[in-house]
Every structure is written in structure tokens, then in C-alpha cells.
Chain A
Amino acid sequence: MSERLTLITGRTRKQAVGMHKGKDSPEYREATALVEMNPEDMARLKIEDGGKALLRTAEGEVELTAHAGSLPAGLVFVPMGTLVNKLIGTETLGTGMPSFKGQTVDVAAVTEREDAS
């Protein structure tokens, strides 16, 4: 089961600190390989806190570690970085700015995808 949710990206303290260590550092990887979700969305999608979630858009897909956060239902947050940018399209609506916030994304538990395949 997957659901279409809304993705926003942004800065976190750990992402900034990891960036200084290097984008190939464990700190950066750990800081950017996560998705924060609404706990009820996670329960419905059978995604455990600390478990893997698969996020997919027309641009690509990426597996991230899911964490329960204080997000409203239907919204997921991923720290800015190389991983989430696999999901972001290049349409800028004539402004130069891609949809780093507000893009729709299909979200599923990773185990389910493995079961289906």
C-alpha cells in the first residue's frame, strides 16, 4: 500500500553540521537519509518509527529512514541534500525555483515493496 502525500524539504541543524564534515561523511548521510512523518500516516502505511520508507515521484525514488514527527497529516519532511533531490523535478514555473516544497510524493513501507516483488 502506498499513499500520495506532500513533500517539503529544508535545512536541519544536523544537515548543516554534516555538510561541513563532507557530503560523503557518515554524519551527512545520517542527517539527510531520513523522512519525518505524521505518526497516524505512518501507522496507516505500516511504517515503523526507525523503519524504512520508500518515497517515489516521477523523477525517481529513494529509501529513507522514517521518524515520527509533529507534522500535520499528509505532510512529509526530508532534510535538503543529494538524496531528496532525486525526487525533485526541474520545473520552475518561470522563476528558476524548483518545487522543493509542496511536491506530491508516493510513500510506502519498504517491506511491502519487497513482499510484492
Chain B
Amino acid sequence: MSTVVEHVTCPFCGCLCDDLTVEAEGVEIRKVRLACSSGQGIFMDYDPRPRRPLVDGREVEWENAVAEAASILSAADSPLIYGLSSSASEAQRKAVALADRIGAVIDSTSSVCHGPTGLAMQAVGEPTCTLGEVRDRADLLVFWGCNPDASHLRHFPRFSLTAKGALTPNGRADRTVYVVDVRPTGSSKKADHFLQVDVGSDFEVLTTLRLLVKGKEPSVDTVGGVPVAQLKELVERMKSCRYGVAFMGMGLTMAPARQLNVAELFTLVAELNEFAKFSVLPMRGHGNVTGADQVLSWTTGYPFAVSFARGYPQFSPGEFSAVDMLARRAADAAVIIASDPGAHFPAAAAAHLERIPTIVLDHGPSVVASHARVVFPTAAYGVDAAGTAYRMDNVPIPLKRVISTGRLTDEEILDRIIEAVA
């Protein structure tokens, strides 16, 4: 039976584009309209064949896999629950419930993404907005340490660079666009102005911009490789725009100074509101990594790196963040949900996941699943399961089920594990 589903949300990245059309023949997806190349892969490369759970690489019945997972977690002194960002918020809540039940540390991919942004928000606040406001109102865009041209392929046409809105009817012609980065990128080629910053100098450049906003004169001609004259021009545009929006990415969070870079940008944006309306948004990567921050914050008070070891939530990045837990071999069992730290963590941290019993919930193969003790094949939210995800601007967006495979969801499997460890 062929089906056509309209207004489908792509679960790949934090843009959560919700205007796709998906055509399927039974469980085989035949065509996806409007998705970018990254989003196409989510649907077109999806393997809908039924799969059974694995224990030590051998297929087993579901109840046996659940019993093995419960046995591992009941015996563990310091279990780690990690991932969450390609899952739905309904399942993220269950993951927190499991952490609470077994006294685990729970962390999301935020810790290797915008974790430092979360720390900056805690320190200085977040002058935020929605992407709808950007599309409709923004006449000045500053992309700092991010490259949407490679990472968020429809951000430019749907929300920012070329999007046409109520007060920006001419799209690109109604906006001035800056890119600030350590190297030229696909995004910088599409900007009006490119400021190339020396590696590790973002903080100094941001501080200089704050200085200039306050009307003070720096005693040097160049900061972090950028002529002060160019920074003055940017500040004049920032102070005189109708509505400015800064977008920031891993160029700030992964570089030296990490959360201090982000806090400096957020402070600059807050201070600019004395002169013009100005906001800032992090370019969130995974489809529902924003939801992971939201759900952990509602339920524990903290966005990531939370330990329930003492029976109540404690927050300690650098201690309860997954890379640190694994690097110092502090975890003696792990539950990995919809992510692949085997591929995306420093090798020495990923290696510890091969030493400890690991339980993986994922809809497809992964490096971490290849050496896991227990593997639960799941449905993929947005493909063969419905759920809720948070867009990068913290707007919740429904994910549709476009094919029906009968696979269990992360939420259903976590429910069974919670019941079994009780």
C-alpha cells in the first residue's frame, strides 16, 4: 500500500524542518521531498526490517534482553546513562526516571556539544528568541563559530539568510550578514562580511566588541587577528539595526575558554539591547538535543551531567559528564540511548565502554552497539514512531510516524527496564 504523508518533521538536526512530504510503499520509504542531504539519509537509508534484541551478539527474546539489562543495572555501583539527543522527550523523561531508580549518572550529547553554552546561560542568562522572529524581523545576522552551510543545511532558506518574512519581504536583500570564524567556510562565502579570528582568540574579540559598545577606545589596532576598524563597523551595525540575531556554535564551545566565550557573547548581546533589539541562539546539532536539556532541567533542575548516586540530583560537569566518567573509569555499566559515543568520543573515553557491560537502544547499527552486551533495536522517532522534539529555539515540534514497522520505542523499552529493575 502506498502512502503519502505531508507536513512531516525531519528529526536530524535542531532545525526540525516540518514541511517535508514522505512517500512510502508499505514500510519502504520511496521519496522524501524538501529534506536536505542530511535529512534525506534519515529516511531513505532507514532499514525497516524487523530485528530482535541481542545479548552478547546473539539474538534473544525481548524478555531475556530486558532481564539481562536489568541484571546488569541492578549489579552496577556506578551506572551511566548517556545519549538522548536523537530520542523523543517522552523517552528522555523515562531515562531520567531510570537514572533516579538505579542511582545513575545521566548525561546527554549536550556535554560534547552545547554543554558550555548551558554553563554560560546559568552564569549570565540567555537573551533568546524564536526562529519565527528571526525570519520575520531580523535585518542583521551574525554567525559566530558555526557553519550552517555544512551542519544545518536549511537554516539559511527557512529561518535566516534568505528567508522572507513579515518585515523582511525581500529575504537576503533585507539583511546584513556577518560570519566570524577561524577559517573561511561555505557559510562565510554567503556572508556580506567575514571576520577571520585567530584560533583561541574569540574571547578577546568579544571583549573588545563589548568595549566598543560602551564607547571606549582599545589601545591596539588589531585584536585576535581582526582589525579594530572592522570591529567598530560591526558595532555600529549592531547598535543601529532594527533587530539583530547572533547564532553561535562549536567554534565557541569546543575552543579554548569554552563557556567563557559563550558567556561573553551572551553578555554582549544583552548589552546591545540598550541600543537595539538583539537576541542570540545556539545552533543545536542533534534533532532533540534541545529536548534533552529541557527534560533534564524540568526533572532535575540541571541540563546535563547529573548524578542520582546520592538519591537526589547533583550537577557537576567535568565529573558527571560522560567523557570524564569514562576517562577516569568511574562508570561500571552504561545505557546508551540513540547516540554513538563509540564514534564521537575521544578514543580513550570510548574504549572504557568496551570494558564495561553496555546496553544500547538504537534504531540502527553503531560503533558502540558493535561491542555492547545488550542491544535493543528500536523504532526511530520521526520515522516509525511519533513523539515530541524541541527545535533549537526551544519550540516543541511533533514528530510523525511515517511508516509502521511495529518496532518498540525507546520509551517502551525503558519502561520495561524500569519495571524489571524495581
Contacts and interface: CB of A to CB of B under 8 A. Distances in A.
B75 interface: no
A95 B150 contact: no
Contacts, number: 143
B251 interface: yes
B327 interface: yes
Nearest to B253: A97
B299 to A, nearest CB: 19
Interface centre among A16, A72, A95 (most CB of B within 10 A): A95
Interface string B171-206: 000000000001110000000000010111000000
A102 B199 contact: yes
Contact-size category for A: 35 or more
A20 B184 CA distance: 27
Interface in B131-184: 147, 150-151, 153, 182-184
A72 B323 contact: no
Contacts of B121: none
Interface string B348-367: 11100000000000001111
A88 B119 CA distance: 22
Contact-size category for B: 35 or more
B37 A88 contact: no
A96 B323 contact: yes
A23 B366 contact: yes
A4 interface: no
Given A95-B116, A96-B305, A96-B318, A102 B254 contact: yes
A95 B258 contact: yes
Interface stretch (A39-47, A75-83, A105-113): A75-83
A117 interface: no
Interface of A: 6, 8-13, 16-17, 19-24, 59-60, 69-72, 75, 77, 80-82, 85-86, 88-90, 92-102
16 contacts: A11-B147, A16-B38, A17-B41, A19-B41, A20-B41, A75-B182, A88-B347, A93-B318, A96-B112, A96-B304, A97-B115, A97-B253, A98-B254, A98-B323, A100-B250, A102-B256
The 9 closest A-B pairs by CB, nearest first: A96-B321, A20-B41, A94-B318, A90-B327, A96-B111, A101-B254, A88-B346, A20-B45, A96-B317
